[in-house]
Amino acid sequence: MSIKEFITTIPYNRISIRDLFTFEKSPVNLLIALMTLSFLAMFALGVAIYLEHGHHAYGVTRQHPWGLLIAVYIFFVVSSTGLCIVGSLGDVFGFKDYMAVSKRAIFGSIVTIVSGFAVIAFEIGHPVTMVIYNVLSPGLTSAIWWMGTLYGIYLTFMVIEFVFLLRNDMRMARYVGFFGLMFGLLAHSNLGGVFGFLNARPISNGVFFPTYFILTAFITGIFITFIMLGLRYKLSFPEEIKKLLTNLAKIQALLISILIFFVSWKMLTDIYDGLPGRADVASHILGSWTFWIEVVLVMIVPLVVILRKTGSNLVAIFWVSLSGMVGIFFMRYNLVHDSQLKPLQMLKNTEYQLAPEWVSYFPSAAEIMISLGGLGLCVLLYFIGSKLFNLDADAHH
Amino acid sequence: MARYAIALDYKNCIDCKACEVACKEENGILLGADKQRIWVGHAPIKGEYPFLDLTSNAFVPSQCQQCEVAPCESVCPTHATYYDENGVVRVDAEKCILCSYCMVACPYDARYVDDRTHTVDKCNFCSDTRLARGETTTACQATCPTKVRVFGDLDDPESEISQLLRVREYFTLKPHLGTNPKLFYLT
């Protein structure tokens, strides 16, 4: 079979632009539609400002070169890896109970990483040069090179896996899905390595982030699965989905417990005996409200809600998954900001100014607009996909 | 082929900032405190009154440390940062994608975004200006009224810098990071 013939065998729904505006006009749906369109408009405006002013449109500085867009990129690619893990439970590892969400999760992993790429394209100063010299002059000691390259391969595998899932070719989906998952995990741990390799920044340096990224990706994937299925079934889940979500909720409780363990020991080892450059930064982080948002929304609230009814209170878990994603955003923002908190040049070098104690950063309007635009793009792509493809499990599942 | 380095008799620095001006003039660096390849840091007086350590209050001229194991070179995804034949860490603006990873990885805050090329820039010991013209000094060294800097080849045992480092004690910045800086602060 030629590639052309193969493509014609991919099942999809023929839709027109008008179909995209055909949805139940409930207040929630209208709110989501309005927000999505607003975010897309902001994206266009943010990009226009960036194209006019370059990085001067952002709040980044010499001391804090990575800002909100890096955090949002990480937010999206973590989501993608997480959805890939959730999707792989059924079609790669063969857990039949999770087959029902495989197609939706794999499609979600594609739209989230595409949204992440859309955001990072306006943070990297020369994205076209990047594509050229990533190939012509690869920096093999650079975690960014490995991350970018592996994510590119990962995305390719995810698209092929999704096509096989659409064609209901579970055998090929399993093979391709295995490689997709493997490249996804490798790419994602390399993203952790981008921070872990920073010898100059003791708060980030070490093995913690490459492993923590995989754990938090899985947690993020389960949060998003709850959100996707909650919206799909309007919180009135059929029995098969109830069973799937209850099991996922129990896994989530375990993962969050491990996360609490990880973060507690990270903080303890950071602070213990006051190592300069690490203990002081960790103490500063503990005093910041953004860290506690992360703790409350990602760790405490979801864990308490899930454990209260051992994962059977699915509607409540849907809501804490939504707030959990807000917490996950703060988790990514904190990671990027906290890595740069400690000034590397400690001496005063400008007149009429004290030596810096902490590096401050606040995102600019352009950064916020592009970030929200990424979210709008993600929702739009997911909506189009849900119209274009059958994302529910096929009948035999 | 050389192994260029700078020794700084930093206690002679009078913070006149002539080196900053000369660097900007020689290398066409844009104005602004954030757009600088070199700078003079002010070390504050240590201790509390009346136990003040007046000798700690010094001016500390600084710039890219020209590390032999440069974190900025390791993290660069496109080899835009590279070691030239003289061991100088340089930036190929053509290959720089402005991902800013080198700025985050540099332990010395020596890198900044150059608005002329929209790439990350840093001190390169005047390699594409004075050294390219065959001169043997950097702009910051040549202009300094108190002769703080001595630039030269570490591989040449007869060079002034090699002789200085044989007879004077010195320290390097953040030696625990293993970057092997080639800026030596004479004590």
Structure confidence by residue, pLDDT tens digits, B112-154: 999 999 999 999 999 999 999 999 999 999 999 999 999 999 9
Out of B39, B75, B112, whose CB is closest to A142? B75
Q: What is the pLDDT of residue A393?
A: 76
CB A355 within 8 A of CB A348: yes
B104–A198: do the CB atoms touch at under 8 Å? yes
Distance (Å, whole) CA A333 – CA A82: 18
- Residue A346: list chain B partners with CB under 8 A: 41
CA–CA min distance B24, chain A (Å): 16
Which backbone phi and psi does B77 adopt, to 5 degrees? -75, -15
CA–CA min distance A61, chain B (Å): 8
Q: Where are the alpha helices (DSSP H) in A121-196?
A: 127-136, 143-166, 170-196
- Residue A343: list chain B partners with CB under 8 A: 109
Q: What is the pLDDT of residue A395?
A: 56
Out of B71, B80, B103, whose CB is closest to A65? B103
Best CA proximity match to B170, nearest among B155, B153, B156, B150: B150
The segments of chain A whose pLDDT lies below 70 read 346, 349-353, 394-397
CATH number of A60-343: 1.20.1630.10
Q: Going by C-beta distance under 8 Å and a sequence separation of 6 or more, which residues neighbour residue B184?
A: B5, B6, B7, B8, B161, B165, B170, B171, B172
Q: Which of A133, A147, A351 to mutate to test the interface with B (most CBs of B within 10 A)?
A: A133
Distance (Å, whole) CA B42 – CA A346: 9
Out of B60, B78, B105, whose CB is closest to A198? B105
Q: What is the pLDDT of residue A397?
A: 43
A200–B77: do the CB atoms touch at under 8 Å? no
Distance (Å, whole) CA A38 – CA A263: 36
Q: What is the pLDDT of residue A373?
A: 97
CA–CA min distance A332, chain B (Å): 17
CATH number of B4-186: 3.30.70.20
CB A49 within 8 A of CB A366: yes
- Residue B174: list chain A partners with CB under 8 A: 200
Backbone Cα Rg of chain A = 22
Out of A66, A124, A345, whose CB is closest to B41? A345
A349–B113: do the CB atoms touch at under 8 Å? no
- Determine contact: A53 vs chain B, CB below 8 A: no
Q: What is the pLDDT of residue A14?
A: 84
Out of B34, B100, B106, whose CB is closest to A66? B100
Q: Quick check: helix, strand or coil at residue B152?
A: strand
Q: What is the pLDDT of residue A344?
A: 87
CA–CA min distance A339, chain B (Å): 9
**Domain extents for chain A?**
60-343
The segments of chain B whose pLDDT lies below 70 read none
Across the A:B interface, residue pairs with CB atoms under 8 Å apart total 127
Q: Which residues of B touch A (CB under 8 A)?
A: 33-34, 39-44, 60, 62, 71, 74-80, 94-101, 103-109, 111-113, 115, 118-119, 174, 177-178
- Determine contact: A140 vs chain B, CB below 8 A: no
A348–B44: do the CB atoms touch at under 8 Å? yes
**Domain extents for chain B?**
4-186
- Determine contact: A199 vs chain B, CB below 8 A: yes
